Amino acid sequence: MPSPRLTIGGYRFRTPALLVMALTHSSSGREHNERLEFLGDAVLGSLVAGELYGRYPSADEGTLTRARATLVNRRTLARIARSIDIPARLLLGGGEARNRGGERDSILAGALEALIGAIYLDAGYLTCKQAVLPWFIAEFSDVLDLEGQKDPKTRLQELMQARNQPLPRYQVIETAGTPHQPTFTVQCLVSDLVDPVIGTASSKKIAEQRAARAVLAQLESLP
């Protein structure tokens, strides 16, 4: 059976050296991942642009550009890196390891891009697309609402303003998980609904967006 160490994020490498290089930070003193990071950044930009183009045929260029920037920013990439266990597999130099460099968003985001570049070299564009896009599915559905051209929080706020009602109130009611893989539960309260509506996600921002989307759905169902 193939070694489980060749599998990461659901993808199994055929060329082990590519996986090792993708997870090797420049501080290690070995052949590192910066060139792969450069390649992966370009590949990821293409994957995300293509997915956005296909998903949202009515969105204009400016909207698509902003959406891509949101989906490939450092914070989002670091969150995805944590979700596929990159921190535990990073190869760092002694100084970075002692300073907990594997927890820094910049290092994790770079490693994720390097991993994408490595998958591209290992298997080609189409397989890379099939492996990588599932990591971003939650981001596509929760961070943006391109059909409405605005995210759910903005749409909900504008709806409350149009009705001359108080703005929505968001409150974190629970934080679970570890410091590096947290889960936030946020409640959203609006005047038209008796009970608060809950959203849960790996970031406070996405949890708020999910709660806002759920509120909008409930408001739309009211007479």
- Catalytic entry in 41, 51, 122, 142: 41
41 catalytic per annotation: yes
113 catalytic per annotation: yes
- Catalytic entry in 113, 122, 145, 151: 113
For residues 87 and 101, give the distance between their C-alpha atoms in angstroms, rounded to a whole number. 9
* Residue 72, SS3 per DSSP: coil
For residues 197 and 193, give the distance between their C-alpha atoms in angstroms, rounded to a whole number. 9
DSSP tag of 166: P
DSSP tag of 92: -
Closest to 200 in 3D by CA, of 217, 216, 218, 188: 188
- Is 40 exposed, middle or buried, given 0-12, 13-18 or 19+ CB atoms closer than 10 A? buried
Take residue 160 and report the two structure tokens written for it.
């409350």
Question: Is residue 116 a contact partner of residue 44, using CB atoms and an 8 Å limit?
Answer: yes
For residues 86 and 181, give the distance between their C-alpha atoms in angstroms, rounded to a whole number. 12
Question: Is residue 49 a contact partner of residue 68, using CB atoms and an 8 Å limit?
Answer: yes
Question: Is residue 121 a contact partner of residue 133, using CB atoms and an 8 Å limit?
Answer: no
Take residue 105 and report the two structure tokens written for it.
């968003």
Give the residue numbers annotated as catalytic, written as ranges.
41, 113
